Structure 1
Amino acid sequence: MQADEPAVAEMESATADLLRLAFVEIRFLTEDRHEDQSPEAVIRRRKRVNAIADICHNLPGLLAPDRRARLADGLRSLWNTANAVQRRWLVGNWDHLAYDHRWLTASTPDATAGTAAE
């Protein structure tokens, strides 16, 4: 563990909570009933679902017992490969969880620029 990394238990908890929030948001976005059923709205929701699913698809594996010692490396890789939309989603949810993500995000100050919905 590097000096700036949080404890593994804190990273595990934040990762599990991030997955929970992803599932809830994906469930909401794929629900049949939405006020705006225009084709453009459906496309926007589908793009958002795909962005969330893409950024989260490796998270369950990072929580596997044999990989937990390398969780920080996995989260670094996740952050480094995320696009701007995905980074805003991560930061917004980490902020919601009161998770101190600065050990990952401090090197990319533009990560939270713009809006989270794209």
Structure 2
Amino acid sequence: MKLFIVFSISFLSLNISSQNLSGIDWKLFSDENVESIVVTNETDFFSIDRYNFEMNWNEQLSYSDNIGYYGGIEEMRIYDDNHLITKIVDIEDIVALGEIYFEFYDYNFDGYIDFSYPISQGK
């Protein structure tokens, strides 16, 4: 009897969950237009939509005992219509290959472009 009650409750909740999702227009993220930018020590500036990104690369931003010094973006300034909106400092090149990958997309669907970049690699 207890098994039947548990099964009935589980089936009922599964059925309710699937009904709630049936009217949603789902999109595959892999089909979305995600813009990518690779920043290197030669990148001083780039623009995405109405935002301008200015940066200073430092070849000795960080130090590791096993590889020595490696670089990254010492300071990145983000402008909206020529007004400084934020500054981000010390974005490390975590793979120490001289490149930092940024991806731009409206991840939270609020109408404004967002960006992401890796903050860890490996283990």
Q: Same fold (TM over 0.5)?
A: no
Higher relative CO (CA 8 A, sep ≥ 6), structure 1 or 2? 1
* The structure with more helix, counted as a fraction of residues: 1
- TM interval, short-chain normalised: under 0.3
Q: Taking structure 2 as the reference length, what is the TM-score of the superposition?
A: 0.21
More strand by share: 2
Please say which structure displays the higher CA radius of gyration.
2
TM-score by length of 1: 0.21
